[in-house]
Structure 1
Amino acid sequence: MDDIVRQALAKWPNVPSCTGWLMLDRRGNWRMRDEAAQASGSPGTAIRHDALLGFINRNYGADERGQWYFQNGPQRVYVELGYTPWVVRLSVDASGALVLQDQAGGVFEPAEVFVDEEGGIVFRDTQTPARIAVLHDHDLDIFSEHAALADDSLSGEFHWNNGTGLSLQPVRRADVAARFGFVSSPAALA
């Protein structure tokens, strides 16, 4: 968390939080959702300002209920999640090693891999507490080049670096939030 945010929290500790105004979409884009976007259920306008994106990413976290938020100075802005709290991109570096990177630019080291009924890939990382991330759909080809799927398309093995094989486990998309302890729509709890 930025020092300026800590200072604002100390100066104004009781600023009410808000919900519905910020979304992390299925592809890792931060989106502003004005009243019209919220009313229509649209994802809103993608944020493109690099400094603002960096500020959001540095001040992004979860509360004790599994609700993800952006701490905007003294105000907590709860985030609507398009799927998971993190979105990762998969690439191959110059040495041929696979690299997973989250929407904030951080390294993501997978511990488990899940496949939902729509073909979405969900990773749990090695951190404590674990982060849960969906794979950006543009990277499914790279994923499939390093995975051996069983006939059911919901199990098999993902071949990670150094010969590490991670079992592919089935998961229902509707169960992901509850299974991994996060809230997709904090507005629903407000």
Structure 2
Amino acid sequence: MDEAVEHAMKRWPQVPAVFGWLRLDARGHWHLIQRDAPGFNPEEHGRGEPITSPPIIDFIGRNYAVDEQGRWFWQNGPQRVYVSLDAAPLILRVLESVADASKHRLVSHTGYLVNDIQDACIDRQGRIFLRCELGPAMIHDLDLAQLAIDEAQHAPAVDYLWHWDSERHGKQAFCLAVIDDASQHYGFVSRPA
């Protein structure tokens, strides 16, 4: 977290948290939901407006964290802004390795490199989720075609195998069990309240 944010938290510790004002979509884009705007209608305006300013996006990413209940938030100075998640707390992009184009790396929507994949699964919509040192994540849907995924023919309890050739760890294989709900599987809260 930014030093200025930590200082603001100490200076004003009683600022109440807010819910329902910030949303992370399934492609890693932030959306501001202006609930106090005149004529706000949740049905019409509830998805929010995209945040497009690079400095603001970077600031959110540097100050994005999770509480002990699995609720993800942006620490905006002294105020905690809880995030509604369309898919997962982190959205990962698949990028080619700088050193070797045959190898890949995963980078979060907040700009951090993934170093350690702890497990992975697939939901019934075909989305790939995983747990890494940054937290629960989903691979961006536009990058799924870059992944080598096969049906598991020799592992009866597993539905798919993901073969990953990473820049850091080389070749790895992950068993992808099918899950119904990533938030339950990984313990994060999609709609904090």
The Cα offsets for residues 31-82 of structure 1, whole Å up to 9 and x where unpaired, read as: 1011236453642111111111111001110111111110101111000001
Q: Provide TM-score, normalisation by structure 1.
A: 0.87
Matches within 5 A, 1:119-138: 119-125=126-132, 127=133, 131-138=135-142
Q: Deviations over 1:109-162 (max 9, x none)?
A: 32222111111111111x2xx61111111011112xx221248xx722111122
The alignment status of 1:69 with 2:49, answered yes or no, reads no
Q: Does 1:169 align with 2:169?
A: no
Equivalent residue for 2:47, pick from 40, 43, 57: 43
Instruction: Determine if contact 1:25/1:43 at 8 Å carries over to the other structure.
Output: no
The sequence identity of aligned pairs, in percent, is 34
Is the CA contact (8 Å cut-off) linking 2:164 and 2:172 kept in structure 1? yes
Quote how far apart the aligned CAs of 1:2 are.
Answer: 0.7
SS at match of 2:88: coil
Which amino acid letter does the alignment assign opposite residue 186 of structure 1?
Answer: P
Unaligned runs of 5+ residues in structure 2 are none
CA drift of 1:17 comes to: 0.8
1:178 paired residue number: 184
Query: Which structure dedicates a bigger proportion of its chain to strand?
Result: 2
Please report the TM-score for the alignment, with normalisation by the length of structure 2. Answer: 0.86
Partner of 2:105: 99
More helix by share: 1
Which secondary structure state, in structure 1, belongs to the residue aligned with residue 113 of structure 2? coil
Are the equivalent residues in 1 in contact too, given 2:179–2:185 (CA < 8 A)? Answer: no
Tell me the number of residue pairs that the alignment of Structure 1 and Structure 2 aligns.
179
Distance, in Å, in 1 between the alignment partners of 2:149 and 2:145 is 10
Q: Which runs of 4+ in 1 moved over 4 A?
A: none
What is the root-mean-square deviation of aligned Cα atoms in Å? 1.9
Distance 2:28 2:143 in 1: 13
Find the residue that maps to 2:93 and give its secondary structure: strand
Are 2:112 and 1:110 aligned? no
* 1:11 alignment partner in structure 2: 11
CA contact (8 A) 2:92 2:106 kept: yes
Displacement of 1:186 in angstroms is 0.8
Change in CA separation of 1:41 and 1:82 when aligned onto 2, cut-off 3 Å: farther
Aligned partners of 1:157 and 1:98: how far apart in 2? 17
Distance 1:134 1:62, change over 3 A: same
| Larger CA deviation: 103-112 vs 69-78 | 103-112
Q: 1:15: how far off?
A: 0.5
